[in-house]
């Protein structure tokens, strides 16, 4: 009997423990379910917010892309406007310069016209005077050139006459005469020089040739052309061979 009672008590105790455990487990299950539902709610809200954020982000990206395209188009339009403005500015500057030049030319024309008017002559008369002055100047230039040629020929004749009268006569050359050797032929002892009749050079005039400040040779002019002359090395006066580029001056300049 005692054993039966003990068994019953044990069963009741086990049932009580089981009930207690069931109650605790149920509470945990309830709590877990509540937490699950709360997490589900949060997940749902977060997912909704995420979707909304994605939509807004896509919208913002599209707007940004459109803004970029607008900015590119605006920049291109700005560049075109600036280029047109630069062209217009350059055109305005050119027109301003032309206007200034035209104004100056107009003022000069007015001044010239005033000068013409002050002379008492008509424009055709003034043009005729200008033509006559030009013709007179041309004639004067011709006379001066002829005078120069005659003077040169006279100097030649005087030198020839002087040499006839005195074989030792030395033909004078211009005191400021200076030139260079254009061609040199050491074999035949002749050179071509870069001055001639236009520089009042006379045949048989004597010249000194130098290089780097040192005497090279002494020459005598054998023939004269307009801007050239030919000279030969005087025997016994060749210290070294004459070379192209050597400096030449008068040996006996006229006083």
pLDDT at 212: 93
Band of residue 107 on the pLDDT scale cut at 50, 70, 90: confident
Co-location of 98 and 153 in the same domain: no
Question: Which domain range does residue 83 map to?
Answer: 23-118
Residue 98, SS3? helix
Compute how many other C-beta atoms are within 10 angstroms of the C-beta atom of residue 72: 10
The answer to whether residues 91 and 41 belong to one domain is: yes
Is residue 1, in this structure, part of any structural domain at all? no
In a domain, 184, yes or no: yes
Question: Residues 114, 129: one domain?
Answer: no
- What is the number of structural domains in the chain? 3
67 and 57 housed in the same domain: yes
The model's pLDDT over 217-239, given as tens digits with 9 standing for 90+, comes to 999 999 999 899 999 999 999 99
CA distance 39 to 46: 10
If asked whether residues 159 and 195 sit together in one domain, one would say no
With a CB cutoff of 8 Å and minimum separation 6, the contacts of 185 are 191
Q: pTM of the full predicted structure?
A: 0.43
Q: Are residues 99 and 157 in the same domain?
A: no
Mark whether 27 and 104 lie in a shared domain. yes
Q: Quick one: how many helices (H) and strands (E) in the chain? A: 2, 6
The dihedral over CA atoms of 176, 181, 186, 190, expressed in degrees to the nearest 10, equals -60
C-beta of residue 254 within 8 angstroms of C-beta of residue 173 = yes
pLDDT at residue number 162: 56
Tell me if 228 is assigned to some domain.
Answer: yes
């Amino acid at each position: 009997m005692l054993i039966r009672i003990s068994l019953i008590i044990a069963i009741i105790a086990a049932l009580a423990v089981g009930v207690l455990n069931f109650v605790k487990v149920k509470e945990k299950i309830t709590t877990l379910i509540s937490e699950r539902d709360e997490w589900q709610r949060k997940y749902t809200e977060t997912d909704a917010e995420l979707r909304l954020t994605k939509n807004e982000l896509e919208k913002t990206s599209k707007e940004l892309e459109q803004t970029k395209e607008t900015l590119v188009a605006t920049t291109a339009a700005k560049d075109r406007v600036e280029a047109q403005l630069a062209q217009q500015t350059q055109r305005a500057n050119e027109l301003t310069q032309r206007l200034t030049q035209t104004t100056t030319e107009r003022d000069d024309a007015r001044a010239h016209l005033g000068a013409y008017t002050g002379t008492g002559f008509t424009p055709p008369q003034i043009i005729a005077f200008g033509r006559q002055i030009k013709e007179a100047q041309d004639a004067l230039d011709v006379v001066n050139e002829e005078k120069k040629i005659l003077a040169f020929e006279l100097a030649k004749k005087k030198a020839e006459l002087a040499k006839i009268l005195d074989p030792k006569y030395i033909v004078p050359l211009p005191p400021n005469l200076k030139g260079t050797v254009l061609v040199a032929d050491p074999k035949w002892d002749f050179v071509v020089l870069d001055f001639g009749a236009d520089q009042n050079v006379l045949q048989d005039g004597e010249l000194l040739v130098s290089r780097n400040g040192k005497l090279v040779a002494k020459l005598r002019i054998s023939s004269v052309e307009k801007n050239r002359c030919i000279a030969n090395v005087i025997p016994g006066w060749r210290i070294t061979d004459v070379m192209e580029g050597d400096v030449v001056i008068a040996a006996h300049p006229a006083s």
